[in-house]
Amino acid sequence: MKDWREDKTFFRATIALPVIWFFIFFVIPMAIVWAYSVGENVGPVDVAITGTFANYAKAFAPEVLKVMGDSIWLAALTTLICLVVAFPVALAMTFADDKQKTWLLLLIMLPFWTNLLIRTYALIAVMRTSGVINTGLEGLHGLLMTVGLPLGSFEPLPLLYNKFAVVVGLVYVHLPFMVLPLYAALDRLDKSLIEASLDLGAGHLETIRRVIVPLAAPGIAAGLVITFIPALGAYLTPDLLGGPDDLMIASLIERQFKRANDWPFGAALSFILMYITLLFFAVRAFLERKGGKVGAH
Amino acid sequence: MSDRDTIIRVEEVTKRYGKVTAVDRVTLEIPRGEFFALLGPSGCGKTTLLRMLAGFEMPTEGKIFIDGVDMSSIPPNKRPVNMVFQSYAVFPHMTVFENVAYGLKFDNVPKSEQYGRVMAALADVKLDHLAERKPDQMSGGQRQRVALARALVKKPKVLLLDEPLSALDAKLREAMRFELAELQDKVGITFVMVTHDQDEALAMACRCAVMDRGKLMQTATPSNLYEFPANKFVADFIGSVNLFEGTLQVDLPDHAIVHSEELGGQIYFDHGVSGASGEKMWVGIRPEKIELLKREEGSNPPTPEDAPPGCNVAAGTIRQISYLGSESIYEIDLINDRRMQVSRPNLSRWDQEDFTWGDDVWLRWHGDSPVLLQS
Ligand SMILES: Nc1ncnc2c1ncn2[C@@H]1O[C@H](COP(=O)(O)OP(=O)(O)O)[C@@H](O)[C@H]1O
Ligand SMILES: [Mg+2]
């Protein structure tokens, strides 16, 4: 009998199905969309593949560039806030005992398993003019008035349908993407390194800055990329929580395929989004290679 | 001992983790400048006690004083002690130099002075030629030296070492024993070392504290631990020993006699012991303190020549011999089938052939050899 390592047919058979799957459901549709992106509308429904780059050129129109710019900085801000919020959470999880760890992990994952639409509407219920926050504030306002503070009439805070709402929603949705890689990186860290730092006279903040962050850098980089990319392509959250002026790329793409009925332009925008995404992956890979000597151990 | 000479005082310290009592009412004083070892089997609470000295664990009860200061509310980064971790815990993202310089930043040592102190500490551990290396390009032994230099450069009042030799291979371990002892002598800092290896503790330490299941059993010099163990546990843990249960029959100022069923006779002590007559006790006899003499087959009892006054004698037969080069260990069955261990140095190159399997022998030990153990 042949050595099982020599017998390649088994491995070929196991890999065949994923490869076929990948072609039918990824490569072929992407190829079709790419073909559309170099096509032209020749009727209400018909698209002719003419090899034009006019659709890509259209993406450089100021109003389109503004949407892209907004998308990038909203996603970047979201990623940054996620990092600031998630780092202490992940650190706390690392130092919790096993039972607490399970519960904290569940707490992080629970929203993740809830339908996005439900979560977004729940957020609307909290933030709208007659929502939980504003009603609470109004009550507090009334209370302060009755004790004699001259506050004037109550103005509900404009929490919804603006960029603030979009960022809050994006942070809420993407927090687990940041917590999990950070937790994975911090949990792997040898705890005696932290104790050694304290033992040598460093305070807690110094220890975080000089030991924990440098050693968790690969995890932080992973968290940044993993959070930024879906935040950049987010559709439902900015669409429901943002105002008319707070479009992000995904909403713009959706409009081309639906209302504007301009499939070639929508396809071109989709590919631009993908190129931006790939660019960030490339940056990460580059940084990782550069810092690999430090981070790998 | 006056407070001036005591660097560490542990007072009635207990540490519990839920239902587990890791350290149980330990009271201990460590003199300044000593090489002190905490010795005991795995799980006896040595590391926990050491971590309480470093400040990583807080005692559930009791107090720890370092240089006369109560450590109850002092965090690890404010204590005048430094630790060499069992895993060394050398920072992987820093060079050797940066590792050693790390702790100096927090002591407000001026930059100009740092370089000299780091290089001096590295020279102390013979690593000054590797200052720019990264830890992942170093062997375990070298990383341990980095950890040592990193702690010593801060000139702590006490250096804590958790099983410093356990991860090294046998040859290096031997060499490091001497080197650590020499280093301690040179820097004059009090060393507190945790180990489960009795040879290591006896070879390196001025004094050892032996622990068992969280309790302190005895604190003494290595030779006192060996020759005057406080109880059965210490007698058995330090070296090997033949233990016999017995009752005290005669208890006079100049001699004592213990009757032992196990040995099948009486054990004579040429000195007084303190104990209550008729109480159950144990007698320990070290294997090297027993002499072997040839016995004519069936000759029983011994002739006066075999058993001069003040000596104990028992009859037996050699069952096993382990030849260890410098000495041989003889396993001997007594007439009542109880087994005893006797060791003999191989003084001459032809010596080993004197006794062989199945030989009938007399075992003889002097009245000052056995120790009486009350617990
Ligand atoms: N953090 C902890 N939580 C619970 N139990 C612990 C902890 N640390 C140590 N123990 C328990 O305390 C006892 C002593 O441990 P330790 O001090 O590590 O022993 P040693 O170093 O002598 O081998 C062991 O039974 C161990 O399981
Ligand atoms: Mg230990």
pLDDT in tens, B71-100: 999 999 999 999 999 999 999 999 999 999
Please report which confidence band the pLDDT of residue B4 belongs to, taking 50, 70 and 90 as the band edges: low
Neighbours of ion ligand 2 (CB under 5 A): B 47
**Closest Cα to atom 13 of ligand 1:** B22
Ligand nearest to the CA of B49: 1
Q: Where are the domains of chain B?
A: 6-236, 240-373
Atom of ligand 1 nearest to the CA of B51: 17
Nearest CB to B106 within list A192, A195, A201? A201
Residue B101 has pLDDT above 90, yes or no: yes
* Domain at B240-373, CATH class: mainly beta
Q: What is the DSSP letter of B107?
A: G
Please report which confidence band the pLDDT of residue B68 belongs to, taking 50, 70 and 90 as the band edges: very high
CA distance A112 to A172: 10
Q: Supply the pLDDT for residue B221.
A: 95
Helix (H), strand (E) counts: chain B: 8, 20
Which residues have any ligand 1 atom within 6 Å of their CB?
B 17, 20, 22, 40, 42-48
Question: pLDDT of B157-183, one tens digit each?
Answer: 999 999 999 888 888 888 899 999 999
Q: Supply the pLDDT for residue A1.
A: 59
Which of the pair, B350 or A269, is modelled with greater confidence? A269
- A&B contacts, CB < 8 Å: 68
Q: Does A214 touch chain B (CB under 8 A)?
A: yes
Q: Where are the domains of chain A?
A: 60-131+157-290
Give B99's contacts (C-beta < 8 A, 6+ positions apart): B90, B91, B135, B146, B150
How would you write B185-249 as a 3-class SS string? HHHCCEEEEEECCHHHHHHHCCEEEEEECCEEEEEECHHHHHHCCCCHHHHHHCCCCEEEEEEEE
- Is domain A60-131+157-290 in CATH 1.10.3720.10, yes or no? yes
Nearest CB to A200 within list B87, B134, B150? B150
Please report which confidence band the pLDDT of residue A296 belongs to, taking 50, 70 and 90 as the band edges: very low
Question: Do B54 and A199 lie within an 8 Å CB cutoff?
Answer: yes
Tokens of B310: 């003040």
Nearest CB to A202 within list B106, B147, B150? B106
DSSP secondary structure letters along B132-173: T--GGGS-HHHHHHHHHHHHHTT--SEEEEESTTTTS-HHHH
* Domain at B6-236, CATH class: alpha beta
Q: Which helix (H) or strand (E) holds B325?
A: none
What is the rounded average pLDDT of the residues B355-372? 89
C-alpha of residue A215 to centroid of ligand 1, in Å: 27
Nearest CB to B89 within list A195, A201, A210? A195
Nearest CA in chain A to B101: A200
Tokens of A68: 């892209």
Residue A147 has pLDDT above 90, yes or no: no
C-alpha of residue B22 to centroid of ligand 1, in Å: 6
**Closest Cα to atom 12 of ligand 1:** B22
CA distance A210 to A195: 13
Which of the pair, A152 or B152, is modelled with greater confidence? B152
Q: Supply the pLDDT for residue B351.
A: 64
What is the rounded average pLDDT of the residues B353-368? 87
Q: Supply the pLDDT for residue B81.
A: 96
Decide if B38 contacts B49 (C-beta within 8 A). yes
pTM score, whole prediction: 0.83
Q: Supply the pLDDT for residue B1.
A: 44
User: What is chain B's mean pLDDT, rounded?
Assistant: 90
Q: Supply the pLDDT for residue B272.
A: 76
B148-B154-B156 Cα angle (round to 5): 85
Decide if B350 contacts B251 (C-beta within 8 A). no
C-alpha of residue B86 to centroid of ligand 2, in Å: 8
**Closest Cα to atom 16 of ligand 1:** B45
Question: pLDDT of A102-119, one tens digit each?
Answer: 998 898 888 888 888 999
Residue B57 has pLDDT above 90, yes or no: yes
Q: Does A210 touch chain B (CB under 8 A)?
A: yes
Residue A17 CA, chain-centre distance (Å), reads: 30
Q: Supply the pLDDT for residue B268.
A: 87
Cα within 13 Å of Cα(B156), Cβ side: 30
